């Protein structure tokens, strides 16, 4: 009976350790961190992105387009990527999963690298910003295509 209890406790401890060590994004430190792609210092907390590998290494970017360019060039092997985050333009500094983000491209919302891509965690806010700034909604695949077309 005692051995069974010890095994259960050990199994629980191992499971907790596995889930506690799940890779997570690191905060972007504006004014201090440099972009992993273009090496510019990250200054504007309305823009930015981050890739987190399965081992927990964070690659930080000053714009969505820099991160997209890095993904296109496959400097980080796709199989090593755990998650991809973008800054929520509607909530500056907050990282959101790129799979749930709504992307807007609007010339009147100038991003650090000039492709004018913004991301939003709230679809209604994104729609309002697109209307206010004469922008258009893009899917993630369209963001990659736009980056590839403009930069390569």
Q: Would you give the DSSP letter of residue 44?
A: -
Instruction: Using alpha carbons only, give the angle 36, 141, 56 rounded to the nearest 5 degrees.
Output: 40
pLDDT at 151: 73
Kindly state whether residue 46 falls inside one of the protein's structural domains: yes
* Domain assignment present for 4: no
What angle, 0 to 180 degrees and rounded to 10, lies between the N-to-C axes of helices 140-151 and 64-73? Answer: 80
Tens place of pLDDT per residue across the chain (152 aa)? 555 665 666 555 555 555 556 889 999 999 999 999 999 999 999 999 999 999 999 999 999 999 999 999 999 999 999 999 999 999 999 999 999 999 999 999 999 999 999 999 999 999 999 999 999 999 999 999 999 988 76
What total number of domains does the chain contain? 1
Domain extent, residue 80, equals: 25-151
99 part of a folded domain: yes
Position 5 in a domain:
no
How many Cβ atoms from other residues are within 10 Å of residue 140's Cβ? Answer: 17
Whether pTM exceeds 0.85: no
With vertex at residue 86, the alpha carbon angle to CA 147 and CA 23, rounded to the nearest 5 degrees, is 120
Residue 11 in any domain: the answer is: no
**CB distance 68 to 62 below 8 Å:** no
**Is beta strand 58-61 parallel, antiparallel or unpaired with respect to 136-138?**
unpaired
**Structural domain includes residue 139:** yes
Contact in structure between 28 and 48 (CB atoms under 8 Å): yes
What pLDDT was estimated at residue 5?
63
Within a domain: 1 = no
pLDDT of residue 152: 65
The pair phi, psi for residue 134, each rounded to 5°, is: 55, 45
Contacts of 80 by beta carbon, 8 Å cutoff, 6+ apart: 53, 54, 55
Domain assignment present for 18 = no
């Amino acid at each position: 009976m005692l051995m069974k209890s010890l095994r259960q406790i050990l199994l629980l401890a191992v499971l907790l350790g596995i889930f506690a060590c799940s890779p997570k994004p690191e905060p972007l430190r504006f004014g201090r961190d440099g972009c992993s792609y273009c090496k510019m210092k990250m200054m504007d907390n309305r823009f930015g992105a981050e890739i987190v590998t399965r081992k927990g290494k964070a690659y930080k970017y000053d714009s969505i387009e820099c991160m997209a360019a890095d993904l296109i060039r496959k400097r980080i092997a796709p199989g090593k990527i755990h998650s991809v985050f973008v800054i929520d333009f509607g909530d500056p500094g907050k990282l959101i999963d790129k799979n749930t983000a709504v992307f807007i491209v609007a010339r009147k919302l100038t991003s650090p690298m000039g492709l004018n891509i913004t991301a939003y965690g709230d679809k209604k806010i994104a729609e309002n910003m697109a209307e206010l700034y004469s922008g258009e909604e893009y899917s993630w695949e369209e963001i990659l295509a736009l980056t590839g077309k403009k930069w390569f």
